[in-house]
Structure 1
Amino acid sequence: MTAVPAGMVSGTGAQAPARPAVPWLTVIPFAAMMAYADGFWVVSLRGAVGAIERTQEPFVSWLRESTVLLPLFMLAVIAAVTLSMRWFGPVLAGRKAFFTTALLVAAAGTLAGALTLAASEAWDYALQHNLMGALHHANSAQSAEQLDQSSLGLQLAAFGYGTGLLLITNLVVTGWTVAIRGGRLDVSRRAKEAPPGRIARRARSGRSLAGATDLRLTLAAVALFGCAAIHLAVIPDHLNHWVVASAFFLALAMAEVAGGVLLLGRPGQSVLVAVAAASVVPLGLWLWSRTAGLPFGPNSGVPEPFGLADVAASLLELGTLVIAVVLLRARRKADGEPEGRTTASAHLRALAVVGAIAIGSLGVAGAVPGLLGDMDTSGNTTHGTTH
């Protein structure tokens, strides 16, 4: 970990202080170690008390689910180092700062793992609850209510024991990772300084290095890319029963990719309006299909079940819509440079972007058959490709 570099030349020719950059060589190793270690316990507990439908191929399940959840653990580690930097500064000085940061990293990873475990246990209970109902209709000797209560108690106990296991595991993993890295635990790193020629060119064009990327624009672009990935992932499933829906998702994904690319430049008002439209249209159709049911299509008038993929895509679309509206309102109040060119710290920008990536990853995982499953309205296990 090194000191913060001297200033950079801003668009006005003045010296602008450089902000500490995200220590990705700290974030990625810690996140990967905790994601795969915690994923082992989640899958192990599922094999012990989970629904029988989800206990097949435990090694493959551990590998793919831990990989899908890696962005969530990256988000947790970034949040921990960001909080530590706010408390102790960009350089950890003293044992108190060092050990507090290590505990923050372990606690953040445990929170991410506990959320994952809670979702897994809730899913198992829902599947087992459906099985209890089937046994009741089959006139089982033991009442469905007793079996259901036993299943709920078992899942709650597994969550309690599992959270303790996750905490101990993450403490050990954090200490082990620090030891492997030679006792280093960085919360920031020196931001790379651009060559003088590039600084001069940006200064002449009225753009600063610090203001080149806006948090809101970057977040909206990443959210659009995540939506496009989810929509592309659901196309194969819709080809089997409604080709029109597949064509719509393909066109929507292409529009979202184009909108995201334009947002990374210097978007004008027309681009922001188009981005808002590309978000509000699918969001409105999704709400309609999940409440009253679309008046057209193979299942017209029948509400569709919620799934992981469609919920994730809708969250990203909602976030993009809010950002586009905020920037449009800001542009109407500004005569010159749009308000969307304000800067944000690298850590805050990384938190927002990795958070959007985590939601998009979960959405894609829920849309790909065989990767993660979902439940339809009847309680049967299906894949969350509806949108």
Structure 2
Amino acid sequence: MWYWEGDIRGCYSVKDGYRRLGVMTTQQSSVWNNVWKLQVPPKWKVFLWRALLNILPTLDNLIIRRVVDVNSCPSCGLDVECVMHIFCSCPYAVNVWQLSQIQIPPIANRNFVQWAEEWLGATTGFSSEMQGRICGVLHCIWSARSAAVWDAALPGPSALLSRLHAHWTAWLDTEHRRVAAIGRLPVTAPAQATSTTPIPFSCFVDASFHRPQRAPAFGFVVFGGEFSLVVAANGPLTCPYDPLLAEAMALCEALSWLKDNGYSGGSIYTDSSLLVSSLNSVSSFRNYFVYTLLACKHLINALPGTVVCFVNREANQVAHSLSKDVAAIAIRSVWRDVPHSFIEPMLANTI
């Protein structure tokens, strides 16, 4: 008869097995318990747990498994990639930490678990809020690294931290509502999150059809303060020959990018007056166009202070040219900070 040692009933449980495994491999480091006590989204906890176990698909691990042959950091290209390099010593990560104004422990020839013990261990002086913020920055750095690998586009540190702040605020607000709903907090209690500082922007968006197949494509451009270029993008759409539907889908593409990158409180311009009026009076009749409008309105509501306005075609030439680019019907392209050469003259006239 089998008997599990350490349990009064002799029964095995995953929790006890995990505890035993932690004792054998980590000498009872408090980091392993504190990971699950962090007040952060669950996927951040799982990510940090995988990083501590060194089972993230970093290039040094992929080389061991013979998945890749070359190890060069996709974020900086200056050193081999490992967990400590990605999160601590990579120049990109260093810029993110400096911009976040979080004083992380020094590396000092530590491995990742030893470094994590400095801010997540039992004797650390870091508050639970600061521990959550560090975990969030680590997760965002990993997301940026993944974007560099799969999308060949590394987001800027400021955009990365804006996205983190938006996600962190949204999760805290949702968590407060969940706790309040089960009666642990008064419903009128304020959310723990601080208000998100809007990042002002101006976004121009358009859609076009390319002859002879009438292939649809979108294009949008985002300007920041003092009309400085933030991003320009274009790519294919999947829809029938319906100009109004294409305009709505192009707007949805621009809104999704703005939401993912933490922007709000700006103006979005389209040269379709019918689209603007349709947004203000969505029909109760359900078809694909109405569903696209509802998706747009949901995204607009997620960007407080954002409005959609009409402009004439002359004022929307940059977005229109992006949507008419012959490559737009084949592949999605994104230009950050530095525009493609074919829209540079129009940007100069716009600015």
Do these two structures clear the TM 0.5 threshold for a shared fold by scoring above it?
no
Please, what TM-score do these two structures have when normalized by structure 1? 0.21
The structure that is strand-richer by fraction is: 2
Higher RCO structure (Cα 8 Å, ≥6 apart):
1
